[in-house]
Amino acid sequence: MATGFFWDERTFWHGGGNYAFTLPVGGLIQPLAAGGLPESPETKRRLVNLMNVTGLMGELDVRTAPEAPTEALLRVHPQSYLDTFKEMSDNGGGELGLRVPFARGGYELAALSAGLSIAAVEAVLTGDVQNAYALSRPPGHHCLPDYPNGFCLMANIAIAIEAAKGLAGRVAVLDWDVHHGNGTEAIFYDRDDVLTLSFHQEGNYPLDTGALADRGKGAGEGYNINLPLPAGAGHTAYLHAMDRVAVPAIRDFAPDIIIIASGYDASAVDPLARMIATADTYRQMTHKVKDLAAEVCDGKLVLVHEGGYSEVYVPFCAHAAIEAMSGSAIKLADPFGVTFEVRQPGPRFDAFLIAEIDLMADQLGL
């Protein structure tokens, strides 16, 4: 079976108005020539362009999907939030929560983004495709049920998990976006049927979540894992974190499907983080989780696109991940690979990072 690729040009039309970095233009915040938030459509559009040029797109089962229906959204988001969002969307847009602006029609585009995630998960669980990639935009992993933040307006992965009830009893969500997956964590924090695991840069965003000690509550105690990594972590640290924490935790949980919140903002040139991952880091992490999925859940794996704000480098990182999950013979040479390789942490800092990860793994009981 082929790898499914779920995307829709309309998601690239989501816009948030005139911002510079994460602040609205005004006062001392001068307009940028390009304008807009760092969460730009160009990272995703350039990925599609790159896949068309290399031929990778032609190897995939390319599909779109309808907007997530209201009943699916209501399993995660309260009616009051959806009503407020829809009213603002119909009346020209605005800003909800923290730094989550949107234009007219933003509600429908967010529902379409969630719909792509639903379709990808359902296609894998029904055996229609072996694994799948959802190029969802706007992203979702920061969105709380009634409070959007961090560019996220609807909780795409959580909505897809709830829509798949009856097809999957246990779901593992591994979030390797550089920012803590606070929304996904909060939604499932008191449940034992969803394992949430987040690798993120310590003290980045959000500032008040993502601690190692936050393990879940009630029935969910022990089913939430956070691995806050020091700034400057690179290729070796991320692969060690996969081997030491993610793989054993997910193997022990024995899910019916693995979903990756696949952000690419841990890359070496992302403007919103200070990590040094490379395209090959994402390729190798995807290989590891694909092998794990083959072992524990008949290969059922979905990657849902989250953050990543370098228009130049995100396409190469995501291309590498999709190569790995699809088993493609295309092995795109990373044009930035050499320069980012020489910028990796040296042996002393890598040794420190490995020791820190091992210590956290011991504290997590892994």
Q: For the residues 237-245, what does the mean pLDDT come to?
A: 98
355 CB contacts (<8 Å, ≥6 apart)? none
Q: How many CA atoms lie within 13 A of 335 on its CB side?
A: 6
pLDDT at 71: 98
Report the percentage of the chain scoring pLDDT > 90. Answer: 93
On whether the CB atoms of residues 115 and 277 are closer than 8 A, the answer is no
* Cα separation values, 362 from 95, 193, 212, Å: 42, 23, 11
Token pair belonging to 231: 């700034």
Lowest mean pLDDT among 22-36, 66-80, 108-122, 313-327: 22-36
Catalytic residue among 142, 179, 235, 319: 142
Q: How many CA atoms lie within 13 A of 339 on its CB side?
A: 7
Q: For the residues 146-153, what does the mean pLDDT come to?
A: 96
Q: Quickly list DSSP for 86-103.
A: HHHHHTTEEEETBTEEEE
pLDDT at 9: 97
* Cα separation values, 82 from 11, 16, 86, 167, Å: 19, 18, 6, 26
Average pLDDT of every residue of the chain = 96
Q: Give the tens place of pLDDT for each residue, 74-113.
A: 999 999 999 999 999 999 999 999 889 999 999 999 999 9
Signed CA dihedral, 277, 283, 288, 290: sign only: positive
Catalytic residue list contains 200:
no
